[in-house]
Amino acid sequence: MALSGKVCLVTGSSRGLGKGIAVQLGEAGATVYVTGRSSSTEASVVGGSLKETATEIDARGGKGIAVVCDHSNDEEVKALFTRIKQDHGRLDVLVNNAYAAVTAIFKSHQAGEKFWQKEGEPGRWWDLVNGVGLRNHYICSAYAAQMMVEAKSGAIFNVSSFGGKSYLFDVAYGIGKAAVDRMSADMAVELKEHGVPCVTIYPGAVLTELITHSMKADDSGRMEKIFSKGESPEFSGKAVVALASDPKLIEKTGKVLVCAEVAKEYGFTDIDGSSPPSRAQV
């Protein structure tokens, strides 16, 4: 197994993209810490839980470790990394995926709201969209880097989207994704001399459980237009595994890597055997 013996953390992995990445890391033989705001089946119309993700990782040959962590709570985040260090003394792969505003963004998008029409004070929407999806990525990266720099090994993956390149869904969303891209690039500058790569990954349109559910309820056609020929959540996981297994990943540090382009380079397909189209020209 390509990542046998490696210790990984995927934040926000009860379901969706985070779960897809986590189970693929498990299939590659890794020990994978998975986080979310509760351990059991959560109050969600689409289900999913940390326990289910950890169990799936075990079933695929890895070791899943579920840790309840609210990524908007700095003390809980600090405790998470303290535990990983105490348990293993190192962290080989960090995937910053946690995001708290998916449901709110889709609801607002479907309603056709503009940035000046959001409910409440403008700062409230900003904090909802970027408090976890941007700020927490920085915090987790800092804690991970402390272990990785000491070991002179490891890799950080920041999950972003094409919203960092052109308008998608919402103004605050796009700003946050563009900032994640820049954050990876600048972290890469400071980490390179220590042999620790930091890259951004761009999934395409991912057919998560929530997206699939939302498409059924969307009469506007907006969702269908965006997510036609979508990727499975595990396609991004395959990209992370391929990149994390590449001993020359440092040559890509600081770059934005589109998962469909990674698939072409490393020769893998989605779990159904399809090759999702690249949206690299967006």
* Measured distance CA(64)–CA(32) in Å, rounded: 5
Give CA separation, 107 vs 2, 4, 66, 68, in Å: 40, 40, 29, 26
Cα 22 to Cα 27: distance, rounded to the nearest angstrom: 9
Q: ∠ at Cα 114 (109, 117), nearest 5°?
A: 110
8 Å CB contact between 116 and 48: no
Establish whether 138 is a catalytic residue: no
- Alpha carbon of 92 to those of 17, 38, 271: distances in Å? 20, 25, 25
DSSP tag of 41? -
Catalytic residue among 33, 99, 143, 173: 173
| C-alpha R_g of the chain | 18
Q: Contact 35/50 with Cβ under 8 angstroms?
A: yes
Locus of tokens 């941007």: 134
Contacts of 50 by beta carbon, 8 Å cutoff, 6+ apart: 13, 14, 34, 35, 36, 38, 39, 40, 66, 67, 68
CA distances from 256 to 132, 136, 185, 198, 234 (A): 20, 19, 8, 10, 19
Closest CA to 109 of 177, 254, 200, 211: 211
Beta bridge partners of 236: none
Q: What is the set of active-site residues?
A: 173
